[in-house]
Amino acid sequence: MHKDVTDRRATQSPQRRSRFVWTPYLFIALPVIYSLVFSGYPLLKGLQLSLTNAKLLNPNGGRFIGADNYVELLGNPATWASIGVTVFYTLLVVVASTLLGLASALLINESFFGRVVVRAMLTVPWAVPTVAVALVFIWMFNDGSGILNTFTQALGLGRFGWLTNPDVALFSVTLATLWKVTPFVMLVLLAALQSVPAELIEAAKVDGASPLRTFRVVTVPAIMPTVRVVVLLMTIWSFRRFEIIWLLTGGGPVNATNTMVISVYRTAFNNNELGLASALGMIGVVMSLAVTVIYAFVDRRGESR
């Protein structure tokens, strides 16, 4: 807990203690207003649009139609299919990235020859722009000439329609996502692992605990807070994730990868339905909020234990 710059002044000159310090507000005003304008205002405008029948070509000329958009969306099985795809994709990505990230972090936690190089290479997925990632994965997934099919065929597994087969497409998209995202999870969990107090591990070893038991009893509780934050972040980010899915499949084939954000974009810019798209977006925001609330609840329960 660091001291506050205004603390000393308050104790040294009592008559100034009640003076209102306006400096912080001055500093923070512009950034906060900026944030509000670009996230708060669009949110409100999105809410407003969702209650109209606005079209893309005339964004501000929609007529107020109340909750009609919501009724139409919630009665449409396509909406629920989209919610399903979103939930499934999120589950896949969160579980896989956390497990893989943890496993890899454990792997490189101890030093070994070439560790620096390995760490450097693990930064690459994070750094490469999503457009480039999508381009190369589309090419690797290519039915005819892609390296992945060449590989699976050589292994005797046959060829796959990675992005063309509706049953496989979501897994392919998840694979590309995992490639991009897991290194970040790994680096964060690695930092957490490395801040587990060495004395605790030593004490467990002295008490004769096996490595597995040490892991369960000492390491896991110590990194749990970080794991929880990582899970929350990955969940929210999976709900949001647009570019990689859009570029790989555009939501297809046959809506196999049509997550909610993809659906929002298509409804707005392909179907020209701005109002409807905004309503769908609002439903998505509510879902994200629900997740955050549930998380905060679970987190508090966990801490009080």
Partner 1 sequence: MKGRRRLTRTLRGLGALAMALAAFFPFYWIINTSMTPTDKLYSGQQTVWLDLSRAQYAFQILVADSPFLRWLTNSAVVATGTTILGVLLALLAAYALSRYRFSGKGAFSFVFFSSQMLPEALIVVPLYATFVSLRLLDQHAGLVLANTAFAMPVAVWILKAAIDGVPVEIEESARVDGCGPLRSLHHIILPVIAPSLAAAAVIAFFDAWNEYLFATTFIRTKDLWVASTGLASFQGEYQTPLDLVFSGAFIFALPAVVFFLLVQKRIVSGLTAGSVKG
Q: Which residues 64-103 are close enough to bind partner 1 by CB under 8 A?
A: none
**Please, which residue, 74 or 100, has the CB nearer to partner 1?**
100
Polymer length in residues for the chain: 305
Pick the binder of partner 1 from 93, 173, 181, 192 (CB under 8 A).
192
Pick the binder of partner 1 from 16, 242, 293, 302 (CB under 8 A).
242
Pick the binder of partner 1 from 11, 15, 18, 145 (CB under 8 A).
145
Pick the binder of partner 1 from 122, 200, 209, 231 (CB under 8 A).
122
Q: Which residues 243-272 are close enough to bind partner 1 by CB under 8 A?
A: 243, 246-247, 261-262, 264-265, 268-269
Q: Which residues 279-298 are close enough to bind partner 1 by CB under 8 A?
A: 281-282, 284-285, 288, 292
Cα four-point dihedral sign 61, 67, 70, 76:
negative
Q: Which stretch, 72-80, 111-119, 154-162, 198-206, contacts partner 1 (CB under 8 A)?
A: 111-119
Size of the site for partner 1 (CB under 8 A): 99
In whole angstroms, the minimum distance from the beta carbon of 59 to partner 1 comes to 3
**Please, which residue, 150 or 217, has the CB nearer to partner 1?**
150
